[in-house]
Amino acid sequence: MTDRQEHDVMTKPLYRCWTKATNREEGEPRRSLNWVRSRRAWFEVYEDRIECGDWTIPTSAVQDAVLYEARQFLIPARVLSVEAAGVTYQFGFNPWCRAGQHLPFDVRNEKIKLGRSPFSIVVRLILLVYLIYLVLTTVG
């Protein structure tokens, strides 16, 4: 292999998919304002690191990794939580993405029920009140 071919192999991701990610959540994933404001970027897996936008997480820095599986209505949801250098990163994947199978570090799998933040509860209540208002004003 030439140096150029070896460089190309080293720079090509082993796996790549679109994700939304946040470093403002800790613990089990939940619905929250942080996910509304999360970054959207390519999640790329390399032999020695993972990258998402301008985040680079070296494999050697990973202290803990958990792949959470849940259902959002009937749709499967997967969130990878990676703790590295004192920061927790969470990556939300589309149902067809299988990033967990390609990671260069150990990952625990956990099935959970998605929780709700106070923000998401308030938004649901506002929507419910508005829906009731619409029904009452169109019927009356």
Tell me, what's the pLDDT at 116?
65
The C-alpha atoms of residue 100 and residue 3 are separated, in whole angstroms, by 30
- Give the pLDDT confidence score for residue 127 in this predicted structure: 87
Residue 114: per-residue pLDDT: 72
Residue 109 amino acid letter: N
Specify whether the CB–CB gap between 88 and 82 falls below 8 A: yes
pLDDT confidence of residue 139: 79
Model pTM? 0.76
The token duo for 40 is 């959207």
- Tokens for 27, please give them: 């613990």
62 close to 105: Cβ distance less than 8 angstroms: yes
Write down the pLDDT at residue 5. 47
Mean pLDDT, consecutive 10-residue segments, the chain of 140 residues?
Answer: 53 95 93 89 97 97 96 86 97 94 96 74 84 84
